Structure 1
Amino acid sequence: MMIKKYTLDFLKALASNNNREWFQENKERYLASQENMIEWLDTLLAQLSKHDQLKTANGKEALYRIYNDVRFSKDKAPYNPRFAGNIKRLKPFLRGGYYFWIKPGASRIGCGFTYPNAEDLLRIRQDIAINYEDWHMLLKNKKLKNTFGTLQGETVKTKPKGFSKDHVAIDLLRHKQFWFEKSYSDKEVLSKDFLKMVNNDFKVIRPFFDYMTEILTTNSNGESIL
């Protein structure tokens, strides 16, 4: 299953004609492109399900709306010219999530923890403070670095409350998000191997997800909190 050229062509055209009149005139192009993405995602979900347990049931459920929420945004354009969404793992036992953006010239996948709640964030930081050597080994994994590079995400400027600014792992402790991304060219997105590529890249994050799941489902004594 491939992402079709007409899907990227539609998104390019939408970016240049981001208004309701043009969108209505090209509604059939949108629906065809959306269906292409849903079918591609259905196939990706089937592949992911072979090595992970997912809450997201199908491609349609994974896909975000193309309509722009202008209520809290400076961008008042009515549409967001991308196909994006997220694939949820089966909580509470499996933590972390998979994300994707298909956008001409800016396609990428992401995975990790975008906005952990206060309780989860504290638990993660407590583990970093104690097991920072394990974290460094995990993040220096060759396959992880070659695929996603370094850990990304928002950080606090100084130190999180309750932790020393002189802690050896203060750079990790500052993180509010624990996030990885990988970008793809349009040529890669349109290739017959793109789905396999994304599936394999998502596989690479599993050791990180497994470690984070253990942190967030057990207490400091390793006992289940679920």
Structure 2
Amino acid sequence: MNLQKSLDFLKALSEHNDKSWMDENRKWYETEKKTFEAFVSGLIAEIAVFDPAIADLTPKDCIFRLNRDIRFSNDKSPYKTNFGAAMAIGGKKSNKAAYYIHIQPGHSFLGGGMWMPEAAVLKNIRQEIDYGFEDFQKLIKAPAFTKHFKKIDGETLSRPPKGYEADNPAIEYLKHKSFTVGKALSDKEVTHKDFLAHCAEAFASMKPFIDFLNQSTD
């Protein structure tokens, strides 16, 4: 399945981000929406091979709306200029760690993890890292993982969180408020015939990281 026409649509949308253009191009949008839904359906099936817990998800459970919430934004553009989906136990609105895909001309990426977890979950993640730092290091330094994801991203505190000393071996990870990873994708990669398989391989390498984070939500 080729996503070239989806990239073409998103590029055009970024240049004409208004309701009148969308109304005129509704059929194009509906076509590319279905293409992305089919891609996400295939991605769910691929991920379910190594992570059966998400096997019962549907594309609707995972794909984010194109419409933007502009109520509190200075940017009144009505539409996002990307297609995005989060595959997590319970769907995109759950508190579980997710596999994420973002399709946008020139800015596509694969990602995953937890973004700004609630306080209780964040506390648990920090405890898991502190208690099991050796295991955590092994999974984020595994060759399969580092082939795709080079570092843990996310907003961090400037000082150690409450209950942890500055000399804690895991302090740079304990300062994190989010625990995410990402891998940039070129348009050429997104439109390659093996793109689905490439995504599946990257997400498979991420599974130990996802499992580690999900321990904190049980």
Q: Is TM (by shorter chain) over 0.5?
A: yes
Report the counterpart of residue 170 of structure 1 in structure 2.
171
SS at match of 2:78: coil
Separation in 1, partners of 2:3, 2:207: 29
Report the counterpart of residue 183 of structure 1 in structure 2.
184
Q: What's the offset of the Cα at 1:56?
A: 5.9
Within 5 Å, which residues of 2 pair with 1:1-226?
2-52=1-51, 53-54=53-54, 57-89=57-89, 95-217=96-218
Contact 2:44 2:55 in 1 (8 A): no
After superposition, the Cα gap between the structure-2 partners of 1:209 and 1:3, relative to the gap in structure 1 and judged at 3 Å, is: same
Gaps of 5+ in 1: 218-226
Separation in 2, partners of 1:215, 1:34: 34
SS at match of 2:147: helix
Gaps of 5+ in 2: none
Separation in 1, partners of 2:213, 2:100: 17
Q: What's the offset of the Cα at 1:140?
A: 1.6
SS at match of 1:49: helix
Moved segments of 4+, more than 6 Å: none
Separation in 2, partners of 1:187, 1:200: 17
Q: What's the offset of the Cα at 1:95?
A: 4.4
Aligned-CA RMSD value: 1.9
Q: How big is each residue's C-alpha offset from its partner over 1:127-184, in whole Å with a ceiling of 9 and x where there is no partner?
A: 3223323222222212211211111111111111121123222111101111111111
Matched AA of 2:70: V
TM-score (normalised: structure 1): 0.87
Give me the identity figure in percent.
35
Q: Give aligned pairs, total.
A: 214
Separation in 2, partners of 1:57, 1:136: 30
After superposition, the Cα gap between the structure-2 partners of 1:4 and 1:139, relative to the gap in structure 1 and judged at 3 Å, is: closer
Contact 1:3 1:37 in 2 (8 A): no
TM-score (normalised: structure 2): 0.90
Q: What's the offset of the Cα at 1:213?
A: 3.4
Contact 2:40 2:85 in 1 (8 A): no
Separation in 1, partners of 2:28, 2:136: 46
Structure (1 or 2) with the larger CA radius of gyration: 1
After superposition, the Cα gap between the structure-2 partners of 1:215 and 1:67, relative to the gap in structure 1 and judged at 3 Å, is: closer
Contact 2:153 2:181 in 1 (8 A): yes
